[in-house]
Chain A
Amino acid sequence: MHRMRTPRSRLCVAGLLVALVVFGPGYGPTVGAATVNSVGVALPSDAAPPSKQVLTLIGREGTYLDWSKTVQKGQWMPGLMSDPLVMQDYNSDIKPLAAARWSVSPDGRTWTFVLRPGLRWSDGVPLSASDFVYTIRRMANPETGFDVAWYFSAVKNFKEANEGKAKLEDIGAVAVNPATLQITTTDPTPYLLMLLSDLYVVPEHVVAKTGDPWSQSPDTAVSSGPFKLASWERDKQLIFVANPAYAGIRKPYLERIVYKVGQDQSFFPAYLANEVDAIPWIYEGPLGPSDLARVQSDPRLRREAHIWPYFQTWWIAFGGEATAFKDARVRKAFAMAIDRDAIIKSVLRGMAVPAYGMLPPGFHCAQPARLKGAQPYNPAEAKKLLAEAGYPDGRGFPKYDLDLRAASPTIQAAGEAIQAMVKQNLGIDVGVQNLERKLFMDRLNKYDLPLVLIPWEYDYADASNFMNIYKSGGRHPWSNADYDKAVVAANSTMGDAQRCTMYRRAEDILVRDPGAVFLWHPTVTQLWKPWVKGLINRTNKYGFVSWSRPSKADMPPYIYMGNEKP
Chain B
Amino acid sequence: MRVYAVPGTGLAGRHEINAGRRGWLRRLRRNPMALAGAVVVAFLIFLALAAPWITPVPYDRANFGEAWQFPSAAHWLGTDAIGRDLYTRVVYGARVSLTVGFTAQAIALAVGLPLGLAAGVLGGRTDFLIMRAVDTLTAFPQLLFALLIMVVLGPGLGNILLAISFHAWIPICRLARAQCLRERERDYVEAARAQGAGEVSVVMRHVLPNILAPIIVAVTLGIPQAIFTEAALSFLGLGVRAPTPSWGQMVGEGVTNIRYYWHLALFPSLMIAVTMAGFTLLGDGVRDVLDPRALKN
Q: Which residues of A contact B (CB under 8 A)?
A: 265, 268, 288-291, 293-294, 297, 339, 342-343, 345-347, 349, 401, 406-410, 412-413, 415-417, 419-421, 423-424, 431-436, 439
Contacts and interface: CB of A to CB of B under 8 A. Distances in A.
Contacts of A412: 237, 242, 253
A289 B151 contact: no
Contact of A406 (B62, B237, B255): B237
Interface of chain A: mostly helix, strand, loop or mixed: helix
Nearest to A412: B253
A279 to B, nearest CB: 14
B24 interface: no
Given A401-B241, A419-B242, 5 more contacts: A409-B256, A416-B60, A417-B64, A432-B242, A434-B242
Contacts of B81: 289, 346-347, 410, 413, 416-417
Interface in B253-277: 253, 255-261, 264
A493 B257 CA distance: 48
Contacts of B264: 290
A289 B264 CA distance: 12
B7 interface: no
Given A297-B260, A433-B241, A439-B151, A413 B253 contact: yes
A294 B259 contact: yes
Given A347-B82, A420-B60, A409 B253 contact: yes
B243 A420 contact: yes
B128 to A, nearest CB: 39
Contacts, number: 101
Contact of A290 (B61, B67, B259): B259
Contact of B260 (A293, A345, A423): A293
Interface of B: 60-62, 64, 67-68, 80-84, 151, 154-155, 237-238, 241-243, 252-253, 255-261, 264
A436 B241 CA distance: 13
Nearest to A443: B154
Contacts of B60: 416, 419-420, 423
Contacts of B256: 265, 288, 290, 408-410
A136 to B, nearest CB: 37
A346 B64 contact: yes
A451 B80 CA distance: 24
A434 B243 contact: no
Nearest to A421: B62
A346 B259 contact: no
Nearest to B236: A436
A290 B155 contact: no
A350 to B, nearest CB: 11
A417 B80 contact: no
15 contacts: A289-B81, A290-B259, A297-B260, A339-B64, A345-B64, A346-B64, A410-B81, A416-B62, A417-B64, A419-B60, A431-B242, A432-B242, A433-B155, A434-B155, A434-B242
Contacts of A415: 242
Nearest to A401: B241
- A-B pairs, top 4 by smallest CB distance, nearest first, are A290-B257, A420-B62, A346-B67, A432-B242
Nearest to A436: B151
A433 B264 CA distance: 21
A268 B82 CA distance: 23
Contacts of A417: 62, 64, 81-82
Contacts of A433: 154-155, 241-242
Q: Which of B68, B81, B151, B260 has the most CB of A within 10 A?
A: B81
Given A297-B260, A419-B242, A409 B252 contact: yes
A265 B243 CA distance: 23
